[in-house]
Amino acid sequence: MGLSKNSKRKCAVGGYKKKHSMIGMAFSIPIVIFLLVFVLYPVVYNIWLSFTNASLMKGTSEFVGIDNYVRIFSNKLFKKYFWNTCVWTFWSVLGQLLLGLGLALLISRPMRGGTALRSFLLIPYVVPAVALALVTKWIMNSDYGIVSYWLQQAGLLDGRQSLLALQGPAMWVVILLNIWRSYPFPMLIYWAALKGIDREIMEAAAVDGASKWKIFRYITLPELKNTTIVLAVLRVIWTATYYDLIYMVTGGGPAGSTTHLPILIYQSSFGSFQIGYASAISMILGALMFICIIFYVAKSDIADS
């Protein structure tokens, strides 16, 4: 599409156009070099490793074909860890989009101190995951953690128990932490999108007697559809590959209940020294993420000129 339009114009401007686009291309050279050396090379290297039985302990490496992939799918623990990844990603993303949208609606109301509230609500975005993770371990300690104490007093938790030592709740804790850390970004984007919605349509609808809920459901929500898709793709990729938080809060435990694929990749590489096997898992994770991106490109106009 874009090309044919250009070629028409090209006739008018002639050789200039060609030189012009060459120079334009030159502006992309730094990123191309960077991607080739620091992204493409590691990825190709990983693809190669995933077909070998490379060991990080003995430094040996033999080509083994698709053995690693076969092993992954025949491992019953892998299914559990894969499911954990889905749970972690789904609820983290859903939670941060809902919370983000809710808070965006709150701060888009005209009120005194609105800007201050908005600034305040953005704070979690900059809190380092390490700090958050360590505070969490501290407040969840079964003996002297304040949150554990409150829950124990309220009878919601057995004495000397911690949420982080229970399989289901441990996953909820890391998901909630992730939501806490990530909601400001969707909030801001939704807030911007809400500002962009034509107020006149809403006012007209209100005059016609539409309830607040109906206005939200039939006017606001459809307007936010595109924003939501983009946000969801962005956050799904970021969440599914995010490692730091779980590593520092639970390390994948208890009993593997918070082990998701990035943690499994780390453990397979540096816990079992099977870097070939670990590479195969990371290929699977990378490929799934790539599918999300294809979906995104198809849905958005980012690639159009």
Contacts with other proteins in 250-289 (CB under 8 A)?
250-256, 259, 261-262, 265-267, 269-273, 275, 279, 282, 285-286, 289
Cβ atoms < 10 Å from Cβ of 14:
9
Length of the chain: 305
Query: Looking at 87-95, 202-210, 214-222, 245-253, which segment touches other proteins (CB under 8 A)?
Result: 245-253
CB 169 within 8 A of CB 281: no
What element of type H or E holds 99? helix 76-107
Residue 233 is which amino acid?
A: V
Ranges within 145-184 binding other proteins (CB under 8 A):
145-146, 148-149, 153, 158-162, 164-167, 180
Say whether residue 197 binds other proteins (CB under 8 A). Answer: no
State the Cα–Cα distance between residues 240 and 172, nearest whole angstrom: 15
Nearer to other proteins, 88 or 247 (CB): 247
Instruction: Supply the minimum distance, in Å, between the C-beta of residue 108 and other proteins.
Output: 11
**For residue 55, what is the DSSP state?**
B
Backbone angles phi, psi at 271, to 5 degrees: -100, -40
Among 73, 83, 138, 218, binds other proteins (CB under 8 A): 138
The correct pick among 70, 98, 156, 192 for binding other proteins (CB under 8 A) is: 192
Q: What is the largest CA-CA distance in the chain?
A: 81
Binding mask 65-94 for other proteins (x = CB under 8 A): ------------x-----------------
Contact letters (x/-) for other proteins, 37-56, by CB under 8 A? Answer: xxxxxxx-xx--------xx
- Dist CA 205 CA 223 (whole Å): 15
